[in-house]
Amino acid sequence: MSGVTSGRELRVGIMSFAHVHAATYARLLARWPGVEVRAADPGAASAPADESRGRELAASLGVGYADSYEELLAWKPDAVIVASENARHRSLVEAAAAAGAAVLCEKPLATTHEDALAMQSACDGAGVTLMTAYPVRFSPAFVRLREIVTAGGVGELLGATGTNNGQIPVGERAWFTDPELSGGGALVDHIVHVADLIDSLTGLRPLTVHAATNRILHADKSQVRAETGGLVTVGYEGGFILTIDCSWSQPDSAPNWGGLTLHVVGSTGIAEIDPFAHHVGGFTELGPSGLHLSYGVDTDELLLAAFLDGARRGHQPQPDGQAGIRTLAIVLAAQESARTGLVVDVV
């Protein structure tokens, strides 16, 4: 893997605006020093009319636009962010890799094990790096937690509980509730972040997964066709245990999207993080409900910084494609467990 000659602008391509995070990345990159950004979003043509996509969205975000992926890749980007629908990552990652770009792929890396392996293989074959977009890894709270745990601050690790509860992602992008495109419901949406934090924190191999799901939350929303609530329990080598509440249980009326927490139990102590806790709270009579004014560190920005640095220097950034593959394996096992009622071995 070769780096980019210092001094010249780094070319960053964004493939698809299907995922809402694409706009977040584009907005950050548009004002990033030393970076030139172009996006392509050919899927805009078939997207629902009320969704802001394509050239119009690129213009509002202040980034360049190409009419097709071919045109975007012919521009020879050094780095490419893939933000298509979850089930449509593979072909774009393969194309970006073939064009020689370092790749950052939105989470989940894929919706099937086969696709995830093929994406990693394509990047390896082309000599480019693959990074999975797990921004919570960059949360200062998690970085501190890892330092504490690594230094033996809570003793030997026994188990953990995590929550990743959010508002149901309907409205902004219709495909989120189409299992064919999203890969499922709350399981595929909200297992990966907590699972990745544990992967990074412990390095332990997951062995078994049990998942129980239901569709009681948002049962009144006709467009929802997958589980809205889930409890996922993972058994790791050495007896470490983890349960994740991945439910879309943040009410629509809540003033913030939701959050993520991790509670780690060790033999000599307990450590907890709430990476999205930083906010000023309050009330207003000018809006519908309470105020929740976040001021935490922007982890998306830190994620992009790691990705761009890797692309510039030709280094593999973390979390890499393998991290994405390992966490996807837990998601797929959880989906199988929820379907069969059985405890499933992780592939």
Partner 1 sequence: MKPSPLAVGLIGAGGITQAHVPAWIELGAQVTVFSHAGAAELAAEYGVSSVESLEDLLESCDIVDICTPTPTHRGYAEAALLAGKHIICEKPIALTRADADAVSALAEKVGRQAYPAHVVRFFPEYARAKSAVADGQIGTPAISRFSRVGEYPRWSAWFGDDRQSGGIVMDQMIHDLDIARWISGEVTDVYAVKSASAVGPAVTAQVILTHEGGALSYVSGVWGAPGTTFVTSFSIAGSHGVLRHDSRTDASIRLDGGTREKVGGTRPDISLGESPYLTQLREFANACAGGEPPRVSLDDGARAVELAEAANESIATGASVSVARRTAGIAA
Give the interface with partner 1 as residue ranges (CB under 8 A).
Answer: 155-156, 158-159, 161, 163, 165, 208, 210, 212-220, 228-231, 233, 235, 238-241, 243, 245, 247, 249-251, 254, 263, 265-270, 341-343
The CB-of-214 to partner 1 minimum distance in angstroms stands at 4
Q: Which is nearer to partner 1, 217 or 303 (CB)?
A: 217
Tokens at residue 163, please?
């929550």
User: Could you write out the DSSP letters of every residue in 173-215?
Assistant: -GGGG-HHHH-SSHHHHHSHHHHHHHHHHH-PPEEEEEEEEE-
Q: Which is nearer to partner 1, 14 or 260 (CB)?
A: 260
Q: Which is nearer to partner 1, 235 or 321 (CB)?
A: 235
- The overall longest dimension of the chain from CA atoms, in Å, is 58
Q: Which is nearer to partner 1, 233 or 322 (CB)?
A: 233
The CB-of-49 to partner 1 minimum distance in angstroms stands at 31
The CB-of-15 to partner 1 minimum distance in angstroms stands at 35
User: What is the number of residues in the chain?
Assistant: 347
What is the Cα 172 distance to its own chain's centre?
17
Give the DSSP H/E element, type plus range, for residue 72.
helix 69-74
Q: Which is nearer to partner 1, 214 or 318 (CB)?
A: 214
The CB-of-163 to partner 1 minimum distance in angstroms stands at 7
d(CA 76, CA 101): 8
d(CA 327, CA 155): 25
Task: Give how far Cα 284 sits from Cα of 7, 39, 287, 296, Å.
Answer: 48, 38, 6, 21
The CB-of-343 to partner 1 minimum distance in angstroms stands at 6
Strands 258-266 and 270-273: antiparallel
Q: Which is nearer to partner 1, 205 or 313 (CB)?
A: 205
The CB-of-325 to partner 1 minimum distance in angstroms stands at 24
